[in-house]
Amino acid sequence: MLKTKLLAGVFAVVLAGVAAPFASAQTPPPPPPPPNADIAWVQRERTPYGSWEQMARFFLSQIRTYDVEGRFGEPGPAINSLIAINPDALEDARASDARRLAGQALPLDGVPLVIKDNVEARGMPTTAGSLALAANQPDRDAPITARLRAAGAVLIGKSNLSEWANIRSSHSISGWSAVGGLTRNPYARDRNTCGSSSGSGAAVAAGFAIVAIGTETDGSITCPAAMNGLVGFKPTVGLVSRTGIVPISHSQDTAGPMTRTVRDAALVLNVIAGSDPADPATAEADARKTDYAAALEAASLRGVRIGVARFLTGYSDGTDAVFEANLERLRQAGAVLIEIKDGPDMDAVGGAEFTVLLTELKADLNAYLATTDRAQVKTRTLADVIAFNRATPRELALFDQDLFEAAEATGGLSDPAYVAARETSLRLAGAEGIDRLLKDNDVAVLIAPTTGPAWMTDVVNGDHYLGSASTLPAVAGYPHLTVPMGQVGGLPVGLSFIGGQWQDARVLALGYAFEQLEPQRVAPAFPASLNSTRAVAPVLAPVLQEP
């Protein structure tokens, strides 16, 4: 299996001697990070580890124990969230230590980071989970990667994902890729991680990193964040560069942070936001960006009018019940909740979006493949990838490539059907969607459950996806934040905050204020399943004891 080769080879070098600093009986291993360890903890609590290098060693040892060991025939939960480890991870951590000693610390110095494996990072493959890109190792960083390195973050590795960011098949299994295999949910390993930033979500939830970068076209940051008990932020499209990221859609693609706290998401956004000459969508980014962390205020809910998007509920009864409990928390914090029952025609939005995504996938992927090294990447077009998949049994063993084939049949960016679909989707989701809802109801943001709890992974029938709040902000290109709001049967669910274009700071501030009311994140326990008598016993016990 290719993933085993990638990881095992790197671990042989990077993990050699990782346990040595903690092996002595006189030097017990440091305690594990607290469940909600964040950037402030990393930069404040070096003492138990001695240095950021030792901290990086600890995170690498956690990865070996909990992410990969089960695949080497040894006990372990095998979360399978990472595709590859950065061979320079310890060197990067040593550089952070040197800057600290010299009094030259950077904003993210020492912070363990993972990046989704459709984002380029020099020295490592960028596969998008596909065997067609297994040898794709560009000698360059994507601008977002370069910004994170320049801020001192310690890149631990590349995370698994739903292959090709979940655009290959309408029958896909989220969290699975031919390169990386299947990512498992740390809250119940037979449950799905959602996609496509599956490994990014699972890695931070499981404690393999403090921060992850995901990418989203529609739900690929917010859904896996919610199902893995994390904060996930999809910025306004154009705030963060997409150069060097394997694309789906120039209209909707963006990268964003996946973290344990809203403050961490804001701190990461401070680093990654900004204009990129190679990405025309970011022309306004430098003028629009601000200090997102400085704008956070715990009291910012008081007196704020918030729209309750009832048309974005109903994913499960349990999720709706948790949502109602959190609405009461918001009221008690002084928020003025405005009920909104009717929204845009979501079927019309989805239909137009589908045409846009398939048309742009063909154009944008062909453009990206043309920038890769011909010696490393033999598939130069989407048509080549389709042919490669047909000739590679592992690629099509679990599901087909009907979306790739439909994209290949599209007529290009000048096709009148595409032009009309883009105008329709943007109008329905933006001007007549989020913009109208905010204005007509005089509200600052919309809120809704992000999605339901994680479904059972089903390699026979594919995903059992019940919908989410992601489509309107994804199609409009507007900011969308999910924050943990509780659990349903031991599985996390998230609360979505959706704002208007360039209202990223406002959305983050309100999400932060909600988070401060009563933090809802619970650390995972890595159970094999919640579908067992033992797992449900604590829930049944009070009922069985009733007279």
Among residues 116, 158, 234, 362, the one annotated as catalytic is 116
Widest distance between CA atoms in the chain: 73
532 is catalytic: no
Q: How many CA atoms lie within 13 A of 513 on its CB side?
A: 24
81 is catalytic: no
Identify residue 138 by its one-letter amino acid code: P
Residue 240 DSSP label: B
Structure tokens belonging to residue 402: 């009907």
Q: Which of 198, 68, 211, 229 is nearest to 145 (CA)?
A: 211
**What is the third-level CATH fold of 2-529?**
Amidase signature (AS) enzymes (3.90.1300)
341 is catalytic: no
Residue 83 main-chain phi, psi, to 5 deg: -95, -35
The Cα–Cα gap between 130 and 439 comes to: 43
Among residues 177, 196, 249, 470, the one annotated as catalytic is 196
Determine contact, residues 212/183, Cβ cutoff 8 Å. no
Angle of CA points 79, 82, 87, to nearest 5° = 140
Among residues 96, 159, 174, 220, the one annotated as catalytic is 220
**What is the reported pTM?**
0.94
Residue 527: its H or E element: none
Residuewise pLDDT in 10s, the chain (547 residues): 333 334 444 443 344 444 433 333 445 667 778 888 999 999 886 667 889 999 999 999 999 999 987 665 666 789 999 999 999 999 999 999 999 999 999 999 999 999 999 999 999 999 999 999 999 999 999 999 999 999 999 999 999 999 999 999 999 999 999 999 999 999 999 999 999 999 999 999 999 999 999 999 999 999 999 999 999 999 999 999 999 999 999 999 999 999 999 999 999 999 999 999 999 999 999 999 999 999 999 999 999 999 999 999 999 999 999 999 999 999 999 999 999 999 999 999 999 999 999 999 999 999 999 999 999 999 999 999 999 999 999 999 999 999 999 999 999 999 999 999 999 999 999 999 999 999 999 999 999 999 999 999 999 999 999 999 999 999 999 999 999 999 999 999 999 999 999 999 999 999 999 999 988 899 999 999 998 766 666 656 655 554 4
Structure tokens belonging to residue 261: 């706290």
Q: Which of 236, 245, 250 is nearest to 500 (CA)?
A: 236
CA torsion sign for 228, 230, 236, 239 is negative
Q: Where are the domains of the chain?
A: 2-529
Determine contact, residues 24/196, Cβ cutoff 8 Å. no
The DSSP bridge partners found for residue 177 are 181
Give alpha helix (H) positions in 167-315: 198-206, 222-227, 262-272, 285-288
